[in-house]
Amino acid sequence: MLQLCYHHRLFVSWPLCGWRGSDSFRPLGFMFSAVKTTVTLTLLLSAFAAHAIDISGAGSSAAQPLYVKLADVYGKSQNVKLTYQPSGSSEGLKQAKAKTVEFGATDIAPSQADLKAGKLICFPSAVSGVVPVVNLPGLKRGEVQLTGELLADIFSRKITKWNDSRLTAANPGVALPDLAIAVIVRQDGSGTTYNFSDYLSKVSPAWKQAYGRNFTVAWANGVTQVNGSNGAVSALKQTPGAIAYVDYQYVMQDKLAFTRLKNRDGKVVAPGADGFTAALLNSPWVAQAKYEEMLTDRVGPSTWPITSGTFIVAAQATNNPEKTIATLKFFAWGFAHGDAIVGNANFVRLPDAMQGRIFGDLTTITDASGAPLKWSLAEALNLR
């Protein structure tokens, strides 16, 4: 009878596994010395380690929890390790263009012209949303509600106290404190900032004229500028009276007090998967695959008004086919088998039809000479 042992993700027969009660190995009538077995096992494990593949990504700090969780599960069955730098969407795009990482992550899709000029491919990986969060002692999560116009006036420092008459009028029955509003913003090149400022530009002409939308904003005097989503969360927690904007997964992960928002249909809604899905379904993404279209300020009674996508950007032609193939298999596996992980990371999965189009895009990446990469999409989809 052949017995198997599991060690370092290798299944090996008894001659390579320990045998208690004896100084040598004697299964199936064979004699193996402990020394010979140890040497053989070491050589096998060394060969296995030599084929380990490290892939790297950089960019969106908002998307970091998603890719880290996907890679953690994927790495348990495949000998692939992901190193991810949450350096902001702008940096992710820069590194993808320079080919210093296998993929860049951004919360804003580059235009078709930019993709063509940079010889890049781009596809969405999931959908989430940007959420205003507050630190107001004594008030519950979701108890404060705002409009887009009020949010713009707070972040442009036109409203500086929580008990301002405009805020109390929008929050009848809520005991807003007599506290100064401490505004916390991102100073790094952030896709979260881009989506947030894009929304404010749509709902406030004054904001659009003074600040516009971009990865970085020339913020009003008196705001506190931090780096990264974690920096925003940390500053918010340490500052009574503070307001910041972060992606939804950080709201859930850090149990932050979110505000509700009045959407384009005039309904006051809380952030969550239903609101993000409604924005997606009311956009050109599904019917026309126009991923560069923003998901902010979409119609629909349940739509969250600052919904956003997160995207993968990679070079159209790779200098390292082995690592690129490993990366493509990772994302193909994620689309096919990662629904539960995406949901647990507080993102919304893409519809099947969109995923099918993305699978086709993945097969267009070539090596440096323009030859198709030698990998099987069907094999990647069947990985467990």
In degrees and rounded to multiples of 5, residue 25 shows phi and psi of -105, 125
Predicted local distance difference test score (pLDDT) of residue 183: 98
Q: Do residues 45 and 150 both lie within one domain?
A: no
pLDDT of residue 118: 92
Ranking 13-17, 30-34, 253-257, 303-307 by mean pLDDT, the lowest is 13-17
Q: Bigger pLDDT: 19 or 122?
A: 122
43 and 150 assigned to the same domain: no
Does residue 241 lie in a domain region?
yes
Q: How many domains does the chain have?
A: 2
Q: How far is CA 118 from CA 55, 101, 109, 163, in A?
A: 21, 15, 13, 49
My answer on whether 46 and 135 are in the same domain is: no
Question: Looking at the predicted structure, is the pLDDT value of residue 356 above 90?
Answer: no
- 152 and 8 inside one domain: no
pLDDT of residue 201: 98
Q: Is the dihedral of CA 273, 278, 282, 288 positive or negative?
A: positive
Whole-number pLDDT of residue 292:
84
Ramachandran assignment for 109, one of left (phi > 0), alpha (psi -120 to 50 degrees), beta (any other): beta
Q: What is the pLDDT of residue 51?
A: 64
Residue 301's pLDDT band (cuts 50, 70, 90): very high
Residue 155 above 90 pLDDT? yes
| Average pLDDT estimate for 248-259 | 96
Q: How many other C-beta atoms can be found within 10 angstroms of the C-beta atom of residue 85?
A: 18
Residue 179 pLDDT greater than 90, yes or no: yes
Is 226 within the bounds of a domain?
A: yes
Residues 136 and 243 placed together within one structural domain of the fold: yes
pTM: 0.82
User: What residues form DSSP beta bridges with 130?
Assistant: 247
Check residue 377 and give its pLDDT. 83
Q: Which of 33-37, 160-164, 232-236 has the lowest mean pLDDT?
A: 33-37
Task: Give the number of other CB atoms < 10 A from CB of residue 98.
Answer: 11
In the prediction, which pLDDT does 34 show? 42
Best CA proximity match to 188, nearest among 109, 286, 94: 94
Helix (H) or strand (E) run with residue 186 in it: strand 182-186
Q: Does 268 lie in the same domain as 171?
A: yes
Q: Are residues 16 and 138 in the same domain?
A: no
Domain extent at residue 35 = 4-50
Pairing of strands 182-186, 242-247: parallel
Asked if pLDDT for residue 78 goes beyond 70, the answer is yes
The tokens for 167 are 């805020």
Mean pLDDT of 277-299: 91
pLDDT class of 20 with cuts at 50, 70, 90: very low
Does residue 26 sit in the same domain as residue 140? Answer: no
Q: Determine, yes or no, domain membership for 112.
A: no
Write down which residue in 50, 70, 87 finishes a domain.
50
Using the predicted structure, report yes or no on whether residue 191 has a pLDDT greater than 50: yes
Residues 32 and 139 grouped into a single domain:
no
Q: What is the pLDDT of residue 128?
A: 96
Residue 139 and residue 45 in one domain:
no
Average pLDDT (26-32) is 38
Reported as a pLDDT band with limits 50, 70 and 90, residue 240 is very high
Please report the pLDDT score of residue 305 as a whole number.
98
Name the domain boundary from 277, 307, 337: 307
